[in-house]
Amino acid sequence: MTVRLAAAVAVAALLVAGLAATVVVRAGSGQGPTPAEDRRAQAAAQRFLAAYVEPSGRVVRRDQDESTVSEGQAYGLLLAVVTADRRRFDAILSWTQDHLQRPDGLQSWLYSDGRVQDPQPATDADVDTARALLLAARRFEDPGYLREAQRIARSIIAQESTVLDGRRLLVAGPWARAQRIINPSYLAPRTFTLLAQVGGPDGPSLQALADDGGDLVADVGQVAPFLVPDWATTDPAGRVRPTGPPLDPLGAPRFGLDAQRLVIRFAESCRLSDVILVANMWPFLRDVSTVGDPVLAYGLDGQPLSRETNPLTLVAAAAAAGAAGDPVRREQLLHRAEAMDAANPMYYGSAWVALGRAFLTTDLLGSACDNAVPGGS
């Protein structure tokens, strides 16, 4: 059975069970989040901001050599929006612009020992930063944030995407365009749809990143247990092949802490086909999270590749549970992720515990599909 046929079968099954309607409701077409869910998400965001953000606005990976990455700065911006903390948002933004931002608006990805260690951008940080700025323009009623979001979005199109076989594909950074290197978890369909609303002439290209990204994931995911890889490449015709990471492209592909973010990003998508892709992962994630805490990496055949754990894996399982129409299991898994993070705090796990709550259970980050944004249609 092909991946596309498997997805079609899953769609039919969900429609019969009435779960597709549940997915649409979660996306904002009727039943909104509760005040209690907002408070839980804001509390998780506050915990991350208090633990990892310095007064200067620098987000520090305290468990990873006290270094800073552009991804972390973007997470801080998003979580400052969740808490409606403009002072902290501006501090994080100012530090990022002073230390990481390049003239094109993109961000150098790695900073440590008082300087930038690698000037190349990582696309996910630029995408998340643009979304944070767009939402800050609405939350704090400041059009300056919107203009900066639009500038970054233009650079993402120009330098961090390419067109293959009629599809606009997001690559991992400007450095990845020639070899067409893709990190599927950088794809954020809801973000690109929000940016497309205010993108002006860039709107169609931004929406294409949302739509074509879902098709790419359908191509690269395995039929059973339908796991996507951390890294992939495409050939000139646009055919996708899972790979190891850029420093070891011949290594075995894995469903690790990169790919697990995709489950969350696609669970908040407004395209039913994207949510179905996530629902297809639920049987595997349900099984590995039922017998204990899932490990942080699996082969694409579902075999564990580690004994270590990370709260992100439980948040990904929660996202899949919600996509499959089981909000009770979603909440149980989010609670387990919070407990794991409390017992062994880690920058990355703490960030995704907070982001997962905001993306999956609230509209604090613009996840509802009937959202309007400043200047949007």
**Architecture of 3-361 per CATH?**
Alpha/alpha barrel (1.50)
Q: How far is CA 233 from CA 179, 215, 238, 250, in A?
A: 7, 14, 9, 11
Q: How far is CA 178 from CA 159, 161, 186, in A?
A: 11, 11, 18
The ranges assigned to domains in the chain are 3-361
Question: What is the tens place of the pLDDT at every residue in 301-351?
Answer: 999 999 999 999 999 999 999 999 999 999 999 999 999 999 999 999 999
Residue 376: per-residue pLDDT? 40
Question: What is the tens place of the pLDDT at every residue in 194-233?
Answer: 999 999 999 999 999 999 998 888 888 766 788 999 999 9
Residue 31: per-residue pLDDT? 62
Query: Is 50 exceeded by the pLDDT of residue 377?
Result: no
Query: Is 70 exceeded by the pLDDT of residue 1?
Result: no
C-alpha span between 201 and 206 (Å, rounded): 10
Residue 9: per-residue pLDDT? 44
189: nearest Cα among 70, 280, 273: 273
Residue 216: per-residue pLDDT? 86
Which 3 state secondary structure label does DSSP give 349? helix
Question: What is the tens place of the pLDDT at every residue in 13-67?
Answer: 443 344 444 444 343 334 678 999 999 999 999 999 999 999 999 999 999 999 9
C-alpha span between 207 and 189 (Å, rounded): 8
Q: State if pTM tops 0.85.
A: yes
Largest CA-CA distance found in the chain, in angstroms, rounded: 57
